[in-house]
Structure 1
Amino acid sequence: MRKLYSIGEVAKLNNVSIETLRYYDRIGLFTPASVDPTTHYRYYHEKQFFYLDIIKYLKYIDTPLYQIKEIMKKDVAEMLPFFEEQTEKIDKEIAQLRHAQKILDHRKNQIKEQNMLVKQPRGKVYSRFVEGEEQLHLFTDDLTPYGNPDVYMRDLALLLETKESVVDNFYGCVYELKNYQATEEIIYSSIYTSLLKDTPLPEQPTKKTSKKYMPEGQYICICFKWSEACYLAYYKKLYDYIKQHHISTEGMVFEFSLPNRYFSYEEDDFITELRIKMKEEN
């Protein structure tokens, strides 16, 4: 005669709670072998432990209980497509987690760079090494430092989000190195956001956008608290320094701004760095 186990014994032997076993019984997922008609105590036989292990396994891979109930009714051949589907699902989740980890590492590096910029003397020219990075550029022809690049960034955000990625909320602008006499003379040729390595985008995503690489190297820079009123003065200080010291550059200004705080209801507070790549000596 097959030995029967009480619900408490089954719970202890199989590392599940009594409440869980009662719930499984109520929904018809895992019912006892017999129930005492007088006491209503539930009893299970040892052969059922095998099926309880299957339920626990399916729960471990996040299978809903209603789906487990259907699976338990299938034969082995019918279960194969389910497990293949679960494998694909897990592979996708692993890929998403790896991508999320890349985003996190990228953001940590940006915060480190921001902390470095905070320590730089405000309004003084300096040179520093800048790591190279992939960038997604949106071409512009009417945007100035007086404009609002956030609206333009929506085009980049929509493009990245359709690729199951996310836009970097730190962005920059690019324009030519010239002897500007007024801030409104500065016209951004593009705005950009940094991309994670291997972001799945075509080389020319649209007519208005382009994937580019900002090369690593030594850059001549100046940083300051963002201000429309003082922007040109800081730019001219950098421009004059380059001319006075006969520094050869690659001719494009990268404006990069980072927020000092993240409260949307407070006044904007950004630290901005203007950086221009210096030509390498042969």
Structure 2
Amino acid sequence: MKNFFSIGEVSRLFHVKISTLRYYDEIGLLKPAYKDKQNNYRYYSTEQFERLDTIKYLRALGLPINKLLDFYNSHNADTLIHLLKNQKTEIDRKKRELELIEKKITRRINKIQDAVNKPLDKITKIKLPELRVAYLQHEYILGHDIEHSLTELRNDLTIKEDIFLGKIGLSISVSNLKAHKFDRYSSIFMILEDEHDLTPSVITLPSNEYLQIRFKGSHKEAKQYYKKLLKYMKNHHLELAADSIEITLIDYGVTNNPDHYVTEIMLPIK
């Protein structure tokens, strides 16, 4: 029976790259049984197969190389138990992280589908729960560059997650709405998702009823829809309760075609 196997044979038997086996040799994780002094070829004994199997198993569990070296330097059951417990803790953390990402993806899908399928140019009355909003108090005049202000807002937040932080919106103050100054925004904000921790710049808007309208286009086309909402409010004897909420639901982050943009305006009422 064959007792020694070349590095190429071990690579094929265990489906491990030759470069990986060479690396394991260099760092002392798995040294070959002997090297041919003439050609420097590496040869492995069958006794090393179990060790390579264990290395593959632990690597499949996500253990980093330095932890494997720690284990083989001590090579006892207590060390392995400790490593596996730590790895289990890390896997639990990653599971929670993936569950959060899954929830965000589902929410994002639902929001995009809702924006695509909901009728446009129709005023509806809705009630929203409390909204957690990160404000950047910054007057913005339509047509000015908004990206720098948005970067300031993101940097101001202490939120670590980069995935779907929340929708960016604009707000027109009650006084400007009443004066029909629809091109002058009082603030830029981000509506935060439930999972984000509170930061000093975050406030909570109370649950309230809103008049909502969605239209094709972006902020540049909003003026006529503000007029439409205010006219509806007057005809139905409603009053403004607070500043507006204006969000582009589908924009250049979703599509390159401006004809497919969808923007939403919501006016809180009392």
Q: Please give the TM-score of this superposition, normalised by the length of structure 1.
A: 0.68
Deviation at 1:127, TM superposition (A): 0.9
Alignment pair present for 1:61 and 2:52: no
Query: Contact 1:221/1:276 (CA < 8 Å) preserved in 2?
Result: no
Q: Which amino acid aligns with 1:23?
A: R
Query: Contact 1:24/1:31 (CA < 8 Å) preserved in 2?
Result: no
**Structure 2 residues not aligned, in runs of 5+:** none
Q: Deviations over 1:95-132 (max 9, x none)?
A: 43233223322322221232135x52xxx342164664
Within 5 Å, give how 1:1-282 maps onto structure 2: 4=3, 6=5, 15-17=14-16, 19=18, 23=22, 26-27=25-26, 28-33=28-33, 42=43, 44-45=45-46, 47-65=47-65, 68-76=68-76, 77-78=78-79, 82-83=83-84, 85-117=86-118, 119-120=119-120, 124-127=121-124, 129=126, 132=129, 134-138=131-135, 140=137, 142-160=139-157, 162-166=158-162, 168=165, 170-174=167-171, 175-176=173-174, 178-184=177-183, 186-188=184-186, 190-201=187-198, 205-206=199-200, 209-213=201-205, 215=207, 219-226=211-218, 228=220, 230-247=221-238, 250-262=241-253, 270-277=261-268
Deviation at 1:227, TM superposition (A): 5.4
Q: Which amino acid aligns with 1:115?
A: V
Q: Which amino acid aligns with 2:174?
A: E
Query: Contact 2:240/2:267 (CA < 8 Å) preserved in 1?
Result: yes
Question: Measured at CA, do residues 263 and 195 of structure 1 come closer, stay the same or move farther in structure 2, by a change above 3 Å?
Answer: closer
Counterpart Cα distance in 1 of 2:94 and 2:24: 32
**Alignment RMSD:** 4.3
Deviation at 1:235, TM superposition (A): 1.2
Query: Contact 2:214/2:262 (CA < 8 Å) preserved in 1?
Result: no
Q: Deviations over 1:188-231 (max 9, x none)?
A: 2x432222213122xxx33xx32324647663425242354x54
Counterpart Cα distance in 1 of 2:142 and 2:17: 66
Deviation at 1:85, TM superposition (A): 4.6
Counterpart Cα distance in 2 of 1:172 and 1:227: 10
Matched residue SS, 1:138: strand
Deviation at 1:246, TM superposition (A): 2.7
Identity across aligned pairs (percent)?
20
Matched residue SS, 1:197: coil
Q: Which amino acid aligns with 2:218?
A: W
Deviation at 1:153, TM superposition (A): 2.5
Which has the larger displacement, 212-221 or 261-270? 261-270
Counterpart Cα distance in 1 of 2:233 and 2:204: 25
Deviation at 1:55, TM superposition (A): 0.7
Q: Please give the TM-score of this superposition, normalised by the length of structure 2.
A: 0.71
